Chains A and B, each alone.
Chain A
Amino acid sequence: MRSWLYTPANTPSRMINAPLLGADGVVFDLEDSISEEQKDEARLLLASMLPTILLDTATVRPHVQIAVRINGLDTKHWQDDLEAVVTSGGRLIRIPKVEGPGDIKEVDALLNHLEKEGQIAEGSVGLHALLETPRGIEAAFTIADSSSRLQGLGFGAEDYCAALRIGRATESSVLDYPRTRIANAAAAAAIHAFDAAWGFIEDSEGLKAESQRSRRLGMHGKSAIHPSQIAIINDGFSFSKEEITYAKKIISAMEDSAGVVSLDGRMIDRPVIAWARAVFASIGEREI
């Protein structure tokens, strides 16, 4: 899952079209892009539209995942959001500003109740935890390891930069630490790591550079806030033709040999084979 397109959950025409724009995933947003006065309106709209969108997407874009970002646990909205999403068929929730495993446990408890009440298979609602504060970053692994519902950790750069009083676009390396921490925690828990959205819509070179850097740090994908960003992100988080060719050579060499293999002067051992298989798994996910 390379690209996740955020779409405000109060714009019917954009919501219907979002799964068709080439992103691997769509996140309908009830949080930052919805004003306080529109929270009720957006929640009702999403609950009413979600069954149609899920059915359409499963039919014409079955590889596209649909998630919903609910409001933060420090607001009065998150429980109503969660109930509306789950009862209307949503099965992947993004929780903003997670700061510790206690936050996940709180959501998990309500999900257990909603699943039981709605006769939904236990544990079928998955979670992405967004880490957007220094405290959340430091707790990355305990959060990732706190529930079997966790499918991914996401980074929220704007709030993080605000907390540290640093500029977002000044120097890309300043965000290496939180990204590395999230990527490592996610890998340790065998879940995905997603980078923050790039807020400078006109700056496609900046997005390209940040995507490549995030991938090199171990992240699997990145959020988009505009359709024009999707192709750049998909490209930045895809294996190159050279990598795919090399992975094919590794698998072929393994199939042709019973023992330890050397390829182009490099010893091919278990970690290298695992990398080659990961390349194929990634390609398979997207039906390339």
Chain B
Amino acid sequence: MEGIAGNKERGDALVTVRRAPVQSIHIESPVSDLFGHLHRSVVEEVLQHEGNETVQVIVEDDQALDCVIRARLLCALARLRQQEEAR
């Protein structure tokens, strides 16, 4: 079961979230050298705000703004929860 949001398009990011035994964050980005730390801190901030759930987060970024990654992660988490509630 996973929550997915966003797209693999320029300026956007595809974010996938799955339940996992421990929290982990994987970010693939063509600009990771420059902005990787910023992307990671956005993901960590959202996870903390959302209750620090133990999930695996995969961000496939194509030069998205931090506000885009934040929105895509929030949506992926919401979709994961909706699926779990629907079971």
Contact = CB atoms under 8 A, between A and B. Distances in A.
B75 interface: yes
A13 B12 contact: yes
Interface of A is mostly: helix
Given A40-B78, A44-B78, A45-B68, 11 more contacts: A11-B12, A12-B68, A13-B10, A13-B11, A13-B12, A41-B5, A41-B71, A48-B70, A48-B71, A49-B71, A52-B65
11 contacts: A12-B12, A12-B64, A13-B9, A13-B10, A41-B5, A41-B6, A41-B75, A44-B74, A44-B75, A49-B68, A51-B67
A80 to B, nearest CB: 12
Contacts of B39: none
Interface string A35-57: 00000110011011101100000
A45 B71 contact: yes
A125 B12 CA distance: 29
Contacts of B5: 41, 44
A45 B65 CA distance: 11
Contacts of B70: 48
Interface of A: 11-13, 16, 40-41, 44-45, 47-49, 51-52
Contact of A12 (B11, B74, B79): B11
Given A41-B5, A48-B68, A52-B67, A16 B75 contact: no
A44 B71 contact: yes
Interface in B54-87: 64-65, 67-68, 70-72, 74-75, 78-79
B11 A47 contact: no
